[in-house]
Amino acid sequence: MDPDTQANSLTLNAQAAECRVNEIFFSLQGESIKVGLPTIFIRLTGCPLRCTYCDTAYAFHEGQKMTIDAIIQDISQYRTKHVTVTGGEPLAQRTCHELLARLCDEGYQVSLETSGAIDIANVDERVMKIMDIKTPGSSEAEKNYFNNLAYLTIKDQIKFVISDRTDYDWSKQKMNEFKLTDICEVLLSPEHEALSPTDIAEWILEDKLHVRLQVQLHKYLWGNVPGK
C-alpha cells in the first residue's frame, strides 16, 4: 500500500472509531494546574479499579457509543479549547488513543486523567497527562504500574489522593523512592470526605515538600453533583 493510501485508510478508520461515552459536559476544571479554567469534559465509560472513595461509580457501566466524529461535533458548541478526557479509566477503551490524537489535531489543549494502572506509553505526546498514583487508602495501591513514570514529562502531573496520615507518609516514601518531583509537578489532594485540607497543608509545610496542595474546586462549588 502506498503512503497516501495508507494515510487515507488510517483517517477513515479514525473517523469510524467509536468510544463509549458516559457524559460530555462543560464546567470549570476542578483539579490540576489548570484549575478554574472553563473546560469540556469527556467522560468515558468503564474502569478496572474500584477505589474506596470513587465518586464516579456511575461511569463504570453507563454510556452510549459515539463515533469520534460525533464527539468532535458535540463539543464544538462550547467556546473553549480546553478539553479533559476522564473516566472511569479512559484508557480502558482502546479507541481512547484515537480520540486524544483527534482532539489534538482539532487544535484543542487536551489533558488526560488516568489512574496509572494502564500503560500510557502510546498516549499522544501532545496530551497533558494527569496520572493518579493510588495510595493504600484507595484499596487499589497494588494496581499501580510504575513503569508509566518513564513516559511522563515536565508538562505532566502526578497526583496522590490522601485519605489519612498513612497515605501521606506512603506518598512521601514513593516521592523519594522514584524522585517524582524531578519528573513533573506532584499534587497532593485530600480525599474530600475524609481529610481536612488544613491538615495536609500543615504536613506539607512541616516537611517542606516541593508539591502543590490541590483541593477539588468543583466539589466546593457544587458538591458531588454529576456533570459538574
| CATH number (domain holding residue 102) | 3.20.20.70
From residue 196, alpha-carbon distances to 121, 130, 146, 157, 200 in Å are 35, 23, 28, 22, 7
Lowest-pLDDT range, 12-21, 36-45, 71-80? Answer: 12-21
Please report the pLDDT score of residue 68 as a whole number: 97
Q: Calculate mean pLDDT across residues 141-149.
A: 97
Residue 1 within a domain: no
Residue 32 within a domain: yes
Residue 117 within a domain: yes
Average predicted confidence (pLDDT) for the chain? 91
**How many domains does one find in the chain?**
1
Residue 96 within a domain: yes
pLDDT at 197 over 80: yes
pLDDT at 55 over 90: no
Do the Cβ atoms of 41 and 26 come closer than 8 Å?
A: yes
- What pLDDT, in 10s, does the model give residues 96-139? 999 999 999 999 999 999 999 999 999 999 999 999 999 999 99
Residue 10 pLDDT class (50, 70, 90 cuts): very low
Residue 179's domain comprises: 14-222
Residue 88 within a domain: yes
Residue 37 within a domain: yes
